Structure 1
Amino acid sequence: MNASDTDPTDTPALTIRSRDDPTTQVRLSDRYFPDEYGTGFAMDLRAEGLQARLGSVVTWLWDDEYLADFLDALAADFRGWEGERTWSTHHLALRAVFRPGGHVGLTWTLRPRSTREDSWAASVTTWLEGGEQLTALAADVRRFLDRGDPAGTR
Structure 2
Amino acid sequence: MGCEFDLGSAEDGQAVELIYPTLGSRVRIWNRIAPYDDEIVAFCAELSGEQMRAAVHGLTVDLYEGSSLARFLDGLAAEFTGWSGIRIWESLDRDLRVEAQHHARGYVEMTWTLSPHDCARPNTWSASVVTGLEAGEEMRRFAVAVHRFLQPS
- Structure 2 length as normaliser, TM-score? 0.84
Matches within 5 A, 1:87-126: 87-89=89-91, 90=93, 91-113=95-117, 115=119, 116-126=121-131
DSSP-derived class of the 1:4 partner: helix
**2-structure distance, mates of 1:85, 1:125:** 14
| Contact 2:63–2:151 (Cα < 8 Å) also in 1 | no
Matches within 5 A, 1:38-57: 38-57=40-59
Distance 1:145-1:51 versus aligned 2 partners, 3 A rule = same
Matches within 5 A, 1:109-148: 109-113=113-117, 115=119, 116-148=121-153
DSSP-derived class of the 1:15 partner: strand
**1-structure distance, mates of 2:56, 2:136:** 29
Question: Structure 1: which 5+ residue stretches go unaligned?
Answer: 149-154
**1-structure distance, mates of 2:10, 2:64:** 28
RMSD across aligned C-alpha pairs, in angstroms?
Answer: 2.0
Please state if 1:4 is matched with 2:10. Answer: yes
Which residue number corresponds to residue 29 of structure 1?
30
1:18 to 11, 17, 20: 20
DSSP-derived class of the 1:73 partner: helix
**2-structure distance, mates of 1:79, 1:60:** 27
Equivalent pairs counted in the alignment come to 142
Identity within the alignment, %: 34
Shift of 1:37: 2.5
Shift of 1:4: 2.0
- Structure 1 length as normaliser, TM-score? 0.83
Runs of 4+ deviating beyond 3 Å: 61-64, 114-118
| Contact 1:37–1:61 (Cα < 8 Å) also in 2 | yes
**2-structure distance, mates of 1:67, 1:92:** 10
**1-structure distance, mates of 2:118, 2:87:** 20
Which residue number corresponds to residue 4 of structure 2?
none
Which residue number corresponds to residue 78 of structure 2?
76
Distance 1:61-1:12 versus aligned 2 partners, 3 A rule = closer
| Contact 2:27–2:45 (Cα < 8 Å) also in 1 | yes
| Contact 1:19–1:128 (Cα < 8 Å) also in 2 | no
Distance 1:62-1:15 versus aligned 2 partners, 3 A rule = closer
**2-structure distance, mates of 1:19, 1:118:** 29
**2-structure distance, mates of 1:103, 1:132:** 10
**Partner AA of 1:32 in structure 2:** I
**1-structure distance, mates of 2:9, 2:147:** 11
| Contact 1:96–1:104 (Cα < 8 Å) also in 2 | yes
| Contact 1:3–1:15 (Cα < 8 Å) also in 2 | no
